[in-house]
Amino acid sequence: MAESHDYLRKGQAIYERSFAIIRAEADLARFSDAEAHIVVRMIHAAGLVPLADVIEFGHDFARVARRAIEAGAPIFCDAEMVERGVTRARLPARNDVVCTLRDPHVPEIAARLGTTRSAAAIDLWGERLEGALVVIGNAPTALFHLMERLDAGLPRPAAIIGVPVGFVGAAESKDALAADALGIPYLIVRGRLGGSAIAAAAVNALASDLI
């Protein structure tokens, strides 16, 4: 059959050209090499070069999060889209990727706490949170609830990707994380932007550095 459209068909070539375009257009000067590697892949997932201007790393995130993944840390996600977007084949230690949103206990916990199911699902992470990578890619309420639980003594994760998206609470929850992360390394996107694709891209970037 004749190919009626002229377009690049090879996945690797598409990635390479995409990353070259992003590096040519985005101002990455304020990032370390390891951070820029993550930022490029977040921009790629969003189709949005100005994302570079609102990404912020704290407390040596890139190095600490990579080391955690390499050591086999589980990856806890607030949304199924985030969980689904993590490319398992890239993970260096067959890391567990966990989303508890559909656990049958979640609706009851959410009703009792008067919060969203996304926030309530965090209460099922338990002791496994110690040393884990946490990825909040959807719900500001989940990020706020995580911070409250950490303040109350929940085990400390190794690092937090806090990139919830939206118009109510997203910017505030990320500002709060950056202002008081209890010293836990973090990656945030300031303002309204964020979301599951950006969150999964950050995890995949962390993993792809290692193999």
Would you say 27 or 172 has its CB closer to its own copies? 172
The single residue among 41, 78, 122, 173 that binds its own copies, judged by CB under 8 A, is 173
The tokens of 12 are what?
């690797």
Residue found under tokens 């199911």: 117
SS3 assignment, position 56: strand
Q: Residue 189: how many CB atoms within 10 A of its CB? A: 27
Q: Is 37 a catalytic residue?
A: no
In whole angstroms, the minimum distance from the beta carbon of 73 to its own copies comes to: 22
**How many residues at the interface with its own copies, by CB under 8 A?**
54
**By the 8 A CB rule, do 144 and 176 touch?**
yes
Rg (C-alpha) for the chain, rounded Å, is 17
The alpha carbon dihedral of 118, 74, 66, 82 has a sign of negative
Q: Write out the binding residues for its own copies, residues 80-139 only, by CB under 8 A.
A: 80-81, 83-85, 113-117, 119
For residues 85 and 205, the answer to whether their CB atoms sit within 8 Å is no
Q: What does 67-83 look like in DSSP terms, one character per residue?
A: HHHHTT--EEESSHHHH
Residue of the chain from 32, 105, 108, 168 that contacts its own copies (CB under 8 A):
168
Piece of 70-78, 90-98, 122-130, 196-204 that binds its own copies (CB under 8 A): 196-204
Q: Which of 44, 59, 105, 145 is flagged as catalytic?
A: 44
| Footprint on residues 4-43 left by its own copies (CB under 8 A) | 4-5, 7-11, 14, 17-18, 21-22
For the CB of residue 64, give the shortest distance to its own copies in the complex, in Å: 24
Rounded CA gap, 97 and 74, in Å?
A: 6
Give me the residues that bind its own copies (CB under 8 A), please: 1, 3-5, 7-11, 14, 17-18, 21-22, 44-48, 80-81, 83-85, 113-117, 119, 140-141, 144, 147-148, 151-152, 165-170, 172-173, 176, 191-197, 200
